Amino acid sequence: MPRKKSYEDNDVIEKATELFWRNGYQNTSMSLLESTMGINKFSIYASFGSKQGVFIASLQAYRTLHSTAIIKLKQSNQGLMAIKTFFYDCLDIYHDTDCSKGCLMSNTRAQLNNHKETKILAEIQSFVDYQRQLFIDKLLEHGLDQSTAVKQANYLIITKQSISAASKVHPIEQVHDYIEFTFNAISATHTH
């Protein structure tokens, strides 16, 4: 008869997500996962299969953390301003009380850029592609043609990744200025 688990997957994944977010995928060892999650390696392997399995579950939990901001973006009829609000909502997610950790997915993507963790990179790319498509949809609502909307969405995805990195090293007020300047510049191109 199988033993009953003494933990909830969601609880231990929340702890693992925080650990990966602070340390990065490569700097998080199984022993660190054990001590942080409060379960042993056997339980980790039984529930998640591997460190990679824990990380993919953490990425999915991270996506869930963004769900309110994503739904707000998706349901908004404010076009470009909806994307700007989404940037601020994401910035709130990156920041906690003591520091900014940036975006878990952007951090991981940069760390694993030339790595063979294809499952992890595919999970991240799927989230980036989803956001990019939402940006295109909002820009089309703003009155842009398809080609221009795609180019601006590409620009905004890269800008969002830049904001993630900047939020880790610059005062929040400077990051806010960066967001404001970005959207003022884009808005100016829409009026010409």
Question: What confidence tens digit (pLDDT) does each residue in 31-76 have?
Answer: 999 999 999 899 899 889 999 999 999 999 999 989 999 999 999 9
Cα dihedral 10, 50, 33, 129 in deg (nearest 10)? -60
Average pLDDT, the chain: 89
Segment 68-86, tens digit of pLDDT: 999 999 999 999 999 999 9
pLDDT of 1 > 50? The answer is: no
Question: Do 168 and 102 have their domain in common?
Answer: yes
Q: Which amino acid is at 89?
A: D
Please say whether the beta carbons of 32 and 26 come within 8 A.
Answer: no
Cα–Cα distance for residue pair 51/33, rounded to 1 Å: 8
CATH number assigned to the domain comprising residue 20? 1.10.10.60
| Residue range of the domain that includes 43 | 9-61
Higher pLDDT: 154 or 117? It is: 154
- Identify the pLDDT of residue 145: 94
pLDDT of 190 > 90? The answer is: no
Question: Do 116 and 149 have their domain in common?
Answer: yes
- Identify the pLDDT of residue 143: 86
Whole-prediction pTM: 0.86
- Identify the pLDDT of residue 5: 61
Question: Do 71 and 106 have their domain in common?
Answer: yes
The whole-number average pLDDT for the span 127-140 is 96
CATH number assigned to the domain comprising residue 127? 1.10.357.10
Higher pLDDT: 77 or 9? It is: 77
Whether 80 is in a domain gets the answer yes
Cα–Cα distance for residue pair 99/109, rounded to 1 Å: 20
